[in-house]
Structure 1
Amino acid sequence: MCYHIFAFIAGFVLDLLIGDPHFIPHPVRLIGSLISFLDKRLNCDAGYNISEKKLNLIKYKRGMLLAFTVIFATFAMSVIIIVAAYSINLYAGVIAEAVMTWQILATKCLRVESMRVYDALRTDGVDAGRRAVSMIVGRDTSVLDAAGVTRAAVETIAENTSDGVIAPMLYTAIGGPVLGFVYKAVNTMDSMLGYKNDKYMYFGRFAARLDDVVNFIPARISAYLMIAAAFIGGRQFDGKNAYRIFKRDRFNHASPNSAQTESVCAGALRVHLAGDAVYFGKLVKKKYIGDGLREIEYEDIKRANRLMYITAFLCELLSVAVMSLVLILL
């Protein structure tokens, strides 16, 4: 446990310092490649002369097969790496754990990608902002004005504070990099397959529901940590309003988890988030989150990142404190 705590802290520091350089091969990209490989081979309805209901059931079962295959492969490879590293010596094991923890977290990566939107809006205008934000959201960005681009970036930061930072941190604290990477596999499957369109409505449903399950508790922990961050983050955040909007709007989303942190962020910044969006050429009606006590501005991207960083530090401190307590009790 002592070495796990050290590797956990070292991995967090590495994430803050290095982030996710594109020239370094990332395990999540390998997981994504495996998902894409299985998707092409399993998500096919050619050759079936059966009812639509039976075909949809087949797609659902094939989606389950893909999910279990990806989870097992991720689990097995993570275990092999950890066991192999510790079999060399203790130092190699700790280094492997630290590096894997670094690759599980996405704190700096989330900041870097969202700040590209900020820089594009500030220096080159709305067209550049649309191009930049299209790299981190799934919606049609061509119809967004400057406020819409900013809102999309802030929503991404808020949602991924849970999915990309807090949830993987919690799972890694509980089960080491093995459980952390299993979580990342589930989250990546949802990102790639969890669409409500003809291709993935049934094939990706199991992955989407599994992601809802594994994020249910972490999303709520993330929200309360973000509320605490709003209270200690200074005058730019409104902690009381963050809590109020969280209690009121935390379910204003199709996902049971996404609006948990989005509602806190909207309240802390005193802005509107969410609302109608265009996906694949279709308008999707969505509820607003927050009261919109002021107009959103591109500086809110920086503010959302500060809120995310404070939340990440609080979670790291909490995780280390709990692991240290367990170590003492053992």
Structure 2
Amino acid sequence: MSSSPVKVPVTERASVVRALVSRLVDNLERVIRGKRESLELVLCSVAAGGHVLLEDVPGTGKTTLAKALALSIGGNFKRVQFTPDLLPTDIVGASIFNPQEGSFRFRAGPLFANVLIADEINRASPRTQSALLEALSEGQVTVDGQTHVLAPPFLCIATQNPVEFHGTYPLPEASLDRFAVQLSLGYLPEGEERTLLMTRSGPPPLEGMKAVCTVEEVVELQRQVQEVKLEESVADYLLRIVQATRSNPSIRLGVSTRGALLYGRMARARALMQGRDYVLPEDLKVLAVPVLAHRLVLDTRARYAGADKRALTKDLVGAVSVPR
């Protein structure tokens, strides 16, 4: 008779997760200073198996963050500079004919990495942007009728410049909806920037950075997120928030079912990182703006009136009654 697997106590699992997250954040803060809240949000997305859209001006550490994260988990890192002439095969890969064997062999593109940075994603054509959709949703790509699975964990960090619009193709709603969070690192606090100017005279910040965990530990973290409980009243609270985005007259397109599922996964990940195996309404309130705001499509009148999606999302969540 086979024995049933031993279930690890919640307190022990919580301690392991907190230690893992703490190691990762501390390691990332060696190169990204004064942004602990944003780093924790990125790690929350990693734990949830989601992807990150960084909308920020150049030179604020977006690429450095992606490289540091890949190094911290001992994973494979690839970077793709999105340009108007970039083709889908430049990202996904292509089938190459081998004349000696008389057959085609798939040559994987840079998409096959643990951490991929899609730099200035809105500079590529819609056709090239769409090459990422299957990978972002399902962790796989299909080339010439053959499905190729991406090795977990797979995290895409896409960047776009919110200032320069010449020669860009704005991401459509279908693409935006596949990113778990949208955030901005922004400039360093004045004190941190002063310290950086005075001390950054040695080797590059990433030089010597070592892994503080393994990709297998990250995969296990993602598995544990699935076991976090979402109690019925909290699930109803989540749905009321989602419904509020769909019924507001200022919003033409509210949060999709995919968005609601990602919202729940992010809340589960945050709960686990906080040492709980259950979601609280507070998790949903904290995550509402970074997870939901970029999914909203404003009504024409609201858009021309200068309505802000983030402020609108915060107001909507504030108007929804919290379960007791």
What is the TM-score with the length of structure 2 in the denominator?
Answer: 0.29
Q: Which has the higher strand share?
A: 2
What is the TM-score with the length of structure 1 in the denominator?
Answer: 0.28
